[in-house]
Amino acid sequence: MNRQFFLTHSPINAMFTKNSSDFVVSEIPLYPFSGEGEHLVLHVRKKDMTTWDMLQYLSEVTGCKVRDFGYAGLKDKDGMTTQYISLHKNFEPKLTNFTHEKIKILDTTYHNNKIRTGHLKGNRFFIRLKKVNPIDAKKLQDGLKKISKEGFPNFFGYQRFGIDGDNYIKGKAILEGKRKERNPKMKEFFINAYQSYLFNTWLSKRIEISRLIEEFNVADATRATNLPKEMVESLKKQPQFFKLLHGDVLHHYPAGKAFVCENVEEELPRFLEHGITIAGWLLGGKNIRAEYEAGVIEKQIFEECEPFLDKLNGSRRFAWSFAEEVEGVYKEEEAWFEMHFSLPKGSYATVIIEELIKVSL
């Protein structure tokens, strides 16, 4: 996939390494814990290990089966991450003298229910880029300001596609009946990669269209996008980079229902205020579809997939997301650019980094 970038500055030659000093992730819970109940909640910090590896070790220490732990999401292996996990409080005595070089229990509390997958608001990130010169630091600062104001394209990160980046090809082959996969988890993983690939392809197309409308005159943009001249004239009046189209599937943000955009002028103020966003399609049947001009573009990307629709349950994913509490600091003596930002669940910090440095990781 030829990913389109939203920011316009030239590529930045900075060094990014996912280690415990330069990449730190802190989970933001969806709700406060009650402080009482039969479930012990651990606030844990881990370094350079997967969530699964951490749970396996805690299982060996406590005797609690891995499947009986509760967690809201899986965290990166590389870097330092903090998250909340739960287990029955009967296992608490086994943790009295717990020590591990890569795992630290920061705090404990109790809750009435087991933590469930998806029960998180998002994640707070600290990221350090190295070997950054003053000119590039200015680009990074300006880029962060634009992202803070307008949002960012919510691509699936490279992690979704495997080491070789070809998991989506396997997923498509499975759906076409050209590949067998006995492991149900791997089968689902490959198919999800194909859904993610199509989503990213569609989002890149929409960014390309927005770029053409933003930078070309009406006549050239009309020819390049194949949209009606009157629509291009209207789209050019939208003040933000990412243009909303008639028929887009919009979604209340950060939570709520999806609906088809019938009147762009009425919905645009809510998009600018981050009250709604556009939702891209994750391939599958029985799901709300884009209509009108937006539907034409969506169909062009997903047309090859019509035979697969009945095999999958489709859904909608935020295509344009919003970072919060965005901060950037340049330390010229060390040539470091350090940033903090919070992202909603499902968004990738690496996508922000790629957007800022204009280079795929």
- Residue of 161, 164, 188 whose CA lies nearest to 174: 188
For residues 211 and 178, what is the distance between their CA atoms, to the nearest angstrom?
Answer: 38
Of the candidates 72, 21, 79, 73, the one whose C-alpha atom is nearest the C-alpha of residue 46 is: 79
List Cα–Cα distances, 209 to 158, 214, 221, 283, 300, in angstroms: 23, 9, 8, 21, 14
Residues in contact with 111: Cβ distance below 8 Å, sequence separation at least 6, in sequence order: 33, 34, 35, 36, 37, 39, 41, 86
Give the containing element (helix H, strand E) for 110: strand 103-111
Count of residues making up the chain: 361
Strand pairing partners for 344? 122
Q: For the chain, what is the radius of gyration of the CA atoms?
A: 22
List residues bridging with 123 in a β-sheet.
27, 343
Peptide bond into 254 cis (omega under 30): yes
Query: What is the SS3 assignment for 248?
Result: coil
Active site residue 76: yes
| Direct distance between the N- and C-terminal alpha carbons of the chain, in angstroms, rounded to an integer | 14
* Residue linked to tokens 């050019």: 236
Annotated catalytic residue within 22, 53, 68, 76:
76
- Closest C-alpha to 172, from 156, 195, 149, 150: 195
Neighbours of 155 (CB within 10 A): 26
User: Which of the residues are catalytic?
Assistant: 76
